[in-house]
Structures are given as C-alpha cells and as structure tokens.
Structure 1
C-alpha cells in the first residue's frame, strides 16, 4: 500500500495522474520484477479512487542500468528519462510543469516517489497551481 496517498476527490477521480519516480533515491528492491512497477502503481491508485489516465515517469542516472531492466520497466508502462548532467529530479519536475504541455495542466494529480526531495514538492505545487 502507498503511504501518504489521499483518497481522490470527486474532481480528481477521473483527472490525469502523473507519478514522478526518483529511480536514484528509490531503486527497486533486488528481485522485484520491473515490469510490475507500472501495473502495481496503477492498482494502488485505483484503490484510492484515481481512475483517470496515468503517466509514470522514472527519472534517474541510467548509466550502467541493464537494458533488459529498462525494457521491462518500459513494458510495464513506465516512461524512462535520463537525468540531465548536473540536474536533479525536482528540477526536471519543475521544468516539465512550467513547460505548459497539455498533459501537465490542471486538473491534475501528482505523486512523487523519492527519498530526498519530498519537502520541495509543496513549493513547486504552490507556484504552479496558484
């Protein structure tokens, strides 16, 4: 079960959901099937009432990550992004949100899977949505 995921409000129940996964600070446990990541996140979000379109973006330093692992993640619905040199995941999130791409326009639910940047999300959301 996911921690700190609130039940969907009626407005957000069918809106887009974007999941940002910091693959560097939250790697998969050894032995976990990477093709199950996307379906597992989807199931947990549906259990919380989020039934709209889902995009899962895994961001990290992919250097040295086996091709088979990345292929399995992708086959499970995870969009994989190489972290730009000298950048961190939160700057990638910020850049994407301010790009004004239609997929990032409200109403939108966002979930952040990270071990190091969670306190920064509130600042980004406040700037983006206010």
Structure 2
C-alpha cells in the first residue's frame, strides 16, 4: 500500500560539484549511491533527476574521468553556477510530494535561502487553494 502511494514521487538533486567535489580516493559511484540512499523511499519507488553543476567541469578533482563515470550512470552535467531557475522550473513541473536536494557550499546555500523560502511558500499556497 505504501509503495503505491509513493510511486509517483520524484526527486531532484542539484549538486555544485565545484564547491562540493568528490573527495580524493572516493569512488563516484559510491558517492552517488549515498546521495540516492539519503533520499530514501524516492530511490526505490520514484524517479530521481540528478545534475552535477560546475563552472569548469574538467577542472574538478578527477576531471574527465569523474565526469565520464557520473554521466555513465545518468547524472546530467551542466556547465555554469546559477541553478536557481532550474529549481523553479522543476518545482513547477513536479508538485508535492516531490523532494529537492541541493548540495553546495555554505555560502552559496545562504545566497539560495530566499529562493528556497519562495518555493516553500508557493507549495503552501498551492495546498491552501486545493
């Protein structure tokens, strides 16, 4: 019964891989597995969209080898650093019970806080209207 309830649940992971790179000596596959595990039920019953974002993806630790491994398991790669619009677009297309996870540095998350508050407000407002 619980499985059917959550079948349509989706999750988005936006990961600034420049600010939060895979630590030296760690397998990219295991890092992604741990991220997916942190999402719990969504990983087993729903769809996870994951993007690694960075200003210069070939200059991250592990470079092209890490990018190739991430791409091979379905992680989309995006050059750039501003993913605020990606959050709004995804939230609009994926209403609750959708889940978002942002992996970034402390300073950038502080900058992103107003966006996350706006998204939460939009969700609460939509719930009141229905």
Structure 2, gaps ≥5 residues long = 126-130
Q: Under a length normalisation based on structure 2, what TM-score does the superposition of the two structures give?
A: 0.67
Name the residue aligned to 1:106: 95
Whether the aligned pair in 2 keeps the contact of 1:39 and 1:76 (CA below 8 Å) is: no
Name the residue aligned to 1:4: none
**Equivalent position SS for 2:39:** helix
Deviation at 1:26, TM superposition (A): 0.9
Q: After superposition, where does 1:1-130 map in structure 2 within 5 Å?
A: 14-46=8-40, 49-50=41-42, 51-61=45-55, 62-65=57-60, 66-83=63-80, 88-89=81-82, 92=83, 94-99=84-89, 104-107=93-96, 108-115=98-105, 116-119=107-110, 120=113, 121-126=115-120, 128-129=122-123, 130=125
Q: Provide the aligned length of Structure 1 versus Structure 2.
A: 111
Q: If each structure's helix is expressed as a fraction of its own residues, which one has the higher value?
A: 2
Q: Which has the larger radius of gyration?
A: 2
Deviation at 1:16, TM superposition (A): 0.5
Structure 1, gaps ≥5 residues long = 1-10
Q: Under a length normalisation based on structure 1, what TM-score does the superposition of the two structures give?
A: 0.67
